[in-house]
Amino acid sequence: MNALLKFYVTRLITKGTMIITDAAGQTTEFGDGGGEPVHIHIKTKSAERRIATNPALQFGERYMDGEVDLLKGSIYDVLALVFENAGNDAATESWMRAIERLRLLYRRHIQNNTPMRARSNVQHHYDLSSELYDLFLDIDRQYSCAYFETPDATLDEAQLAKKRHIAAKLYMDRPALKTLDIGCGWGGLGLYLADHCEADVTGITLSDEQFKLANQRAADAGLADRATFKIEDYRKTEGPFDRIVSVGMFEHVGREFYRDFFRQAARLLDRNGVMVLHSIGRFGPPANTNAFIAKYIFPGGYIPSLSEVTPIIEESGLMMTDIEILRLHYAETLKNWRERFEARRDEAKAIYDERFCRMWEFYLAASETSFRWQEMMVFQIQLTKRNDVLPLTRDYMIEAEAKLREAEQRSPALELCHAAE
């Protein structure tokens, strides 16, 4: 086995059992012998060397390209064991920090999300086959963190609860509120607000597939008069709006464009308006996006710490009126996606190929484990321009959710309709 790889794996895996069969056919066991073992086969010396010098990127790449196979356990099991052990040894941490410092040197170039580049980045991921997303997402095709009100909630129930939770924070206190959905996805949240809150919704996306499907769904649901979806960069949108919501889009803005984003939000929001921003974030200080995710899944993406976001909000003309941290909700969401994808893996392989399936498996497993054992979380920030726009206590959110539950019972068809073909 590559000497450097063996050195670091020995120091990293101190709990549990990892077995590695190297390119020469030699088998080495690491850890304390506890738990269910995972057994990895690294087939080439080149793969050993690459993983040793840049594990955050190369382990995923070598798995995706078939140079790494699993003889026992899944890719999730391997990553769970790694992350449960992460931080055990100062030498291992120094190894990883050195690589991440190099990535910081060109972060500004990678996240230079100009309008043209932002559109290209979005199309890279969200314009994949429509059938792919139907394999693992909920029935409303929500592709962001769900809200698990109870541990035994289904994915469909938790995604509906997420929409309800956000709508309550938007304080939809009257009909016909002019509402902007920045990064509207396939239209699920916008249609929910149009249907249950009687909002006048404009959704914007940079994805051709999302644009087409969202408008088709609005027409099919008889909501085209209250929900319109456009291909538009947020920097080009004209206001004002009574309500603004953005779910799962801020991760694509890029660190260098935060000031533009919040200044534009302040320009678009009416002086009596309310905005809710829902984004993946970090508990700890700023850090790089996972190298594999940045290269293959979300080019140009960046996960912020609150310390990077709040100072820019403070100078934008907006004020933070509520912040909620969702801790393990995304881990549970990703677990559902991962298991659903695995159950229909053969269908995904028929759409793409084995390499794509391995890439997607690694993406879902790496994402889930990062929310379980690293510093990842989701934050929801409520924003206004004035401190007297909302009621004095948060009771109005609870009351709004109760009313929305009743409305969902009266009009359930929208949430239960399958995505249009």
pLDDT at 109: 47
Round to whole Å and give the CA distance between 413 and 288: 41
Same domain assignment for residues 34 and 87:
yes
Residue 94, strand partner residues: none
Instruction: Please check whether residue 233 lies inside any domain of the structure.
Output: yes
Round to whole Å and give the CA distance between 9 and 92: 9
Buried b (16+ CB within 10 A) or exposed e, 98-125: eeeeebeeebeebbebeeeebbebbeee
Same domain assignment for residues 133 and 99:
no
Same domain assignment for residues 249 and 312:
yes
pLDDT at 419: 40
CATH number of the domain residue 174 falls in: 3.40.50.150
Give the model confidence (pLDDT) of 127-183 as tens digits.
Answer: 578 899 999 999 999 999 999 999 999 999 999 999 999 999 999 999 999 999 999
91: pLDDT strictly greater than 80: no
Please enumerate in sequence order all residues whose Cβ is within 8 A of that of 396, keeping only pairs 6 or more positions apart, or say none. 168, 171, 390
Instruction: Please check whether residue 421 lies inside any domain of the structure.
Output: no
Give the model confidence (pLDDT) of 306-324 as tens digits.
Answer: 999 999 999 999 999 999 9
Instruction: Please check whether residue 293 lies inside any domain of the structure.
Output: yes
Q: Which two tokens stand for residue 141?
A: 């095709």
Cα–Cα nearest to 396, from 166, 171, 167: 171
Instruction: Please check whether residue 279 lies inside any domain of the structure.
Output: yes
Instruction: Please check whether residue 110 lies inside any domain of the structure.
Output: no
Cα dihedral angle (362, 368, 371, 372), rounded to 10 degrees?
Answer: -110
Segment 58-80 shows an average pLDDT of: 97
Instruction: Please check whether residue 287 lies inside any domain of the structure.
Output: yes
Same domain assignment for residues 333 and 237:
yes
State pTM to two decimals: 0.90
Same domain assignment for residues 143 and 233:
yes
Give the model confidence (pLDDT) of 241-256 as tens digits.
Answer: 999 999 999 999 988 9
The domain boundary residue, chosen from 105, 131, 155: 105
- Domain extent, residue 21, equals 3-105
The domain boundary residue, chosen from 56, 87, 105: 105
Segment 354-378 shows an average pLDDT of: 95
Instruction: Please check whether residue 317 lies inside any domain of the structure.
Output: yes
pLDDT band at residue 282 using 50, 70 and 90 as cut-offs? very high
Same domain assignment for residues 266 and 412:
yes
Q: In total, how many domains does the chain have?
A: 2
pLDDT at 94: 53
290: pLDDT strictly greater than 80: yes
pLDDT at 45: 97
CA pseudo-torsion sign 51, 360, 118, 260: negative
The domain boundary residue, chosen from 77, 105, 133: 105
Same domain assignment for residues 45 and 171:
no
Round to whole Å and give the CA distance between 356 and 368: 18
420: pLDDT strictly greater than 50: no
32: pLDDT strictly greater than 50: yes
Same domain assignment for residues 215 and 101:
no
Round to whole Å and give the CA distance between 385 and 266: 8
Characterise 33 by phi-psi region: left (phi > 0), alpha (psi -120 to 50), beta (else).
Answer: left
Segment 53-80 shows an average pLDDT of: 96
Instruction: Please check whether residue 193 lies inside any domain of the structure.
Output: yes
Cis peptide before 240 (omega within 30 of 0): yes
pLDDT at 63: 97
Cα angle 243, 248, 249; round to 5: 75
Round to whole Å and give the CA distance between 368 and 336: 10
